[in-house]
Amino acid sequence: MSSLPVYRWRMAPDGYATYRQLRARGLRPGGQGVAAQLERPRRRRGPLVAYLYRIDDAKPVRPMTPAKWAALAKANAARRHCPKCRRDAGYVIPPTLGTCAPCAFPEPSESLRSA
């Protein structure tokens, strides 16, 4: 069993990139395993770890097909619809609320205000 090379934060050699850095370049790991890891020490907990992939083995990101775009649009639309009042909220409903703001925080009725 071979262990991964470990580098200190910001000390990785050229030719390695994190997943996010690959995405920024329009690349993906493409089935390759983790080639190395970065460790950033912390005071009270274990170190932060970032996995590195070889840039020369990375492949281009697959392009979005019309079907994928349609599925993404449908999923985003579902996140905007309130399950309680069934209306489009006009924004993505926070999962912590679960409903749109008017349903989560209803106005007190007129009879309660005048009493």
pLDDT of residue 110: 57
Does the pLDDT at position 1 exceed 50? no
Of 60, 77, 96, the residue that ends a domain is 60
Q: What is the pLDDT of residue 55?
A: 96
Q: Identify whether residues 10 and 55 lie together within a single domain.
A: yes
Give the mean model confidence (pLDDT) for residues 82-106.
91
Specify burial of residue 44 (Cβ count, 10 A radius: 0-12, 13-18, 19+). Answer: exposed
Residue 103 belongs to some domain of the structure? yes
pTM above 0.85, yes or no: no
Q: How far apart are CA 43 and CA 37, in angstroms?
A: 19
Band the pLDDT of 50: cuts 50, 70, 90: very high
* Residue range 33-46, pLDDT digits in tens: 999 999 999 999 99
Radius of gyration for the chain, computed over Cα atoms and rounded to the nearest angstrom: 24
For residues 35 and 5, give the distance between their C-alpha atoms in angstroms, rounded to a whole number: 8
Number of domains in the chain: 2
d(CA 24, CA 36): 19
Assess if residue 76 is contained within a domain: yes
Instruction: Please check whether residue 114 lies inside any domain of the structure.
Output: no
Instruction: Tell me, yes or no, whether 70 and 50 share the same domain.
Output: no
Tell whether 43 and 77 lie within a shared domain.
Answer: no
Q: Residue 101 sits in which domain range?
A: 66-109
